[in-house]
Structure 1
């Protein structure tokens, strides 16, 4: 890992004390664009004053923002920092702590300029390397008919990712989302595979989710919540591509691509006997790990604007409020961000701006 910095002596000494011992850094008093191009650093630590300087060599040097980390100083003007963050430059706010710096080390990236607007129709917001990599994998996996498993914390955008996979699959049938945890166990089988009149009290002839998704994609969210009894029948349908409605003896052929999602550790569940091994290996053909929001904080300004627009809010976010959002760890990810922004929008007394006091975490 190649790391360069152009920090004052005290800040550089602090940087050395916070970096893991296996990471070595060169500190240059005079940092030129030529030196950057020659070294191609993975990370570049700079003070905010570097960008305020009108003769700064980076003011006209595109291609490095995702590698840059601004080292926060006590006298930083937040209003000058926010535009830099919106360009994709990371900011370690003062005072800097080891845990805070670790977030940025985990977000180490290389330039992705050519990827930023390559797949705008996916509906996946962000320009960080982590999210650009997800879009590339979606484009790669989309045309195949193999099962895909989406793993990641709650609120990381698994359904949006599944919809993008369906869009790039070329399949003509519908996209049918199913939340396995929201359907009572007694009804799950009939809802999944359909039923015929007389199969149980008040039952009627109706197709299940598999038949409804014929020719398209069936998205099974929270598949780790699916009972073992239904797991075995799901496996049979995946293997034979045929199903039998509850209460019927005739078999029906279905052509469905399965995308499953979970926030649980399916491998651990399998080892504990809570998830079938054969189903685990059948579903985990292609895997996409969705990054948590704390690993792609540079996407927060874009996400904020997108979510505010979706709520039809025209309010802006004050720089201090934005820095509060950037400093948070986001255990609930984008879903939590959406809720906090909605609450802030309601609490805001101003008709034009959300302030720091309106950002209230749960």
Structure 2
């Protein structure tokens, strides 16, 4: 029994020393008589000393200081913590050290027996502050000053559909052409607009985003053109959107919401590249790139007279079509992991896995709200989980959302059956083969070896079918949130 107690104490002592050694601040302990008891790696690095220089030696033999300047001397006189103290000293190795430290008394049997000091040298503090400031300034320069938050590299997705769109966006960014972004609600049109701006020669200049649907028509003209003082009651000298975006990018979101009269004025601006503020008698040249976005078919609107055809052609020299989420289902696990990781922070949760039953609902749902809807559903689902839970499943789905996802899946299955009845046999066989393999991967968390055993084929043969059918097994692995990278989302 005594032997076990000794071994347990020895292990505990070794563990405590190991913990102290990995602490980034210098940790130092000295007895009241000045014998150095503990000195961790960080402290030795600060002092430029070794274990043999320090531990077991008297502090007055290691540090060249007057006795009254030692921490242990001050605490012996007054056994209270000393906080935020500055000290300069020279060690036995000849190194001069500037340090900021906190010192604490250690009592044993109600008697002061040691003094513990924790500190960091000023150069490392300065380095830390400089690194933090540089990081902040870099983010501020890249993501705040020009009015953007995202680059094209921040957009998540490895599917062929999104990669092709990103490739087109990068190519478009290198030109000065006016760009029209077309995509359903929630596909990430503004993220693409910001990404194109930041990949272009305009990146150091402002990015001004305008939601045309959110601004009343009575205000839109003055905001677009700008005003001069006295133009109307309360008017001030204010630049419009075009002037604010000078030599940068003006992003007109939901441009289909502009009235016909405003469309005519926008067309004139694009043609003349001049603007006249409301109440002003002089024209000002404008120079900015126009990126617009719509979730409707403007060509159909133009045919019905709801959108000016001449403006349409001005805005669409280049069209970037952003695919809906249902056409890039392979990206759903990646996006879901990123959203869970994000809400782990904001909701103080610790979700590590997305269960297969929930991921299956995600993969078969049609996502009319696209990536934004996926984000909202994951936030709602995580809000229903307990803070101690680590696996997110469809049990956490709010009842209304679960009903919505499951009804959509049933409708999709019914539509698929009707569609299959009109397909030729080879295509049906290929589709059945692909679905069978995908289901097996889902059941086996993307483990190819286990999947091959379940299907009764060799691992090599399964790899052949995966390549032939364009299936990526990584999308079906257990959705570990710890594997998530942290860029923002489309």
What is the rounded CA distance, in whole Å, between the counterparts of 1:125 and 1:167 in structure 2?
17
- Aligned match of 1:265: 297
Among 267, 270, 277, the alignment partner of 1:235 is 267
Residue 178 of structure 1 aligns to a residue in which SS?
strand
Pair 1:358 & 2:390 matched:
no
Pair 1:202 & 2:234 matched:
yes
Among 158, 170, 175, the alignment partner of 2:201 is 170
Residue 307 of structure 2 aligns to a residue in which SS?
coil
Deviation at 1:132, TM superposition (A): 0.3
What is the rounded CA distance, in whole Å, between the counterparts of 2:273 and 2:342 in structure 1?
39
Deviation at 1:272, TM superposition (A): 1.4
After superposition, where does 1:153-168 map in structure 2 within 5 Å? Answer: 153-168=184-199
Residue 170 of structure 1 aligns to a residue in which SS?
coil
What is the rounded CA distance, in whole Å, between the counterparts of 1:127 and 1:228 in structure 2?
40
Q: How many residues align?
A: 244
What is the rounded CA distance, in whole Å, between the counterparts of 1:161 and 1:314 in structure 2?
31
What is the rounded CA distance, in whole Å, between the counterparts of 1:161 and 1:129 in structure 2?
17
Residue 264 of structure 1 aligns to a residue in which SS?
coil
What is the rounded CA distance, in whole Å, between the counterparts of 2:362 and 2:172 in structure 1?
33
Deviation at 1:242, TM superposition (A): 1.1
- Aligned match of 1:99: none
- Aligned match of 2:99: none
Pair 1:327 & 2:364 matched:
yes
- Aligned match of 2:385: 348
TM-score of the superposition, structure 1-length normalised? 0.65
CA contact (8 A) 1:308 1:314 kept: no
Runs of 4+ in 1 over 3 A off after TM superposition: none
- Aligned match of 2:375: 338
CA contact (8 A) 2:151 2:199 kept: no
What is the rounded CA distance, in whole Å, between the counterparts of 2:243 and 2:294 in structure 1?
23
Deviation at 1:353, TM superposition (A): 2.2
Deviation at 1:121, TM superposition (A): 5.0
What is the rounded CA distance, in whole Å, between the counterparts of 2:186 and 2:392 in structure 1?
23
Cα offsets for 1:14-33 (capped at 9, x unmatched): xxxxxxxxxxxxxxxxxxxx
- Aligned match of 1:278: 310
Deviation at 1:248, TM superposition (A): 1.0
CA contact (8 A) 1:177 1:221 kept: yes
Residue 291 of structure 2 aligns to a residue in which SS?
strand
Residue 199 of structure 1 aligns to a residue in which SS?
coil
Among 277, 296, 302, the alignment partner of 2:328 is 296
What is the rounded CA distance, in whole Å, between the counterparts of 1:358 and 1:326 in structure 2?
17
Pair 1:185 & 2:217 matched:
yes
What is the rounded CA distance, in whole Å, between the counterparts of 1:174 and 1:153 in structure 2?
26
What is the rounded CA distance, in whole Å, between the counterparts of 1:344 and 1:181 in structure 2?
30
Cα offsets for 1:104-144 (capped at 9, x unmatched): xxxxxxxxxxxxxxx98531111000000011001110011
Bigger relative CO (Cα 8 Å, ≥ 6 apart): 1
Residue 157 of structure 2 aligns to a residue in which SS?
coil
- Aligned match of 1:83: none
Cα offsets for 1:191-213 (capped at 9, x unmatched): 11111122223221111111111
CA contact (8 A) 1:348 1:355 kept: no
Residue 296 of structure 1 aligns to a residue in which SS?
helix
After superposition, where does 1:60-209 map in structure 2 within 5 Å? Answer: 122-171=153-202, 172-209=204-241
Residue 238 of structure 2 aligns to a residue in which SS?
coil
Deviation at 1:294, TM superposition (A): 0.5
Structure 1 residue runs of 5 or longer lacking an equivalent are 1-118
What is the rounded CA distance, in whole Å, between the counterparts of 2:326 and 2:152 in structure 1?
24
Residue 169 of structure 1 aligns to a residue in which SS?
coil
What is the rounded CA distance, in whole Å, between the counterparts of 1:268 and 1:246 in structure 2?
33
What is the rounded CA distance, in whole Å, between the counterparts of 1:232 and 1:340 in structure 2?
40
Pair 1:317 & 2:354 matched:
yes
Which of the two has higher C-alpha Rg? 2
Residue 204 of structure 1 aligns to a residue in which SS?
coil
Residue 185 of structure 2 aligns to a residue in which SS?
coil
- Aligned match of 2:471: none
Q: Which has the higher helix share?
A: 2
Identify the range of structure 1 (304-313 vs 217-226) with the bigger mean alpha-carbon deviation.
Answer: 304-313
- Aligned match of 1:244: 276
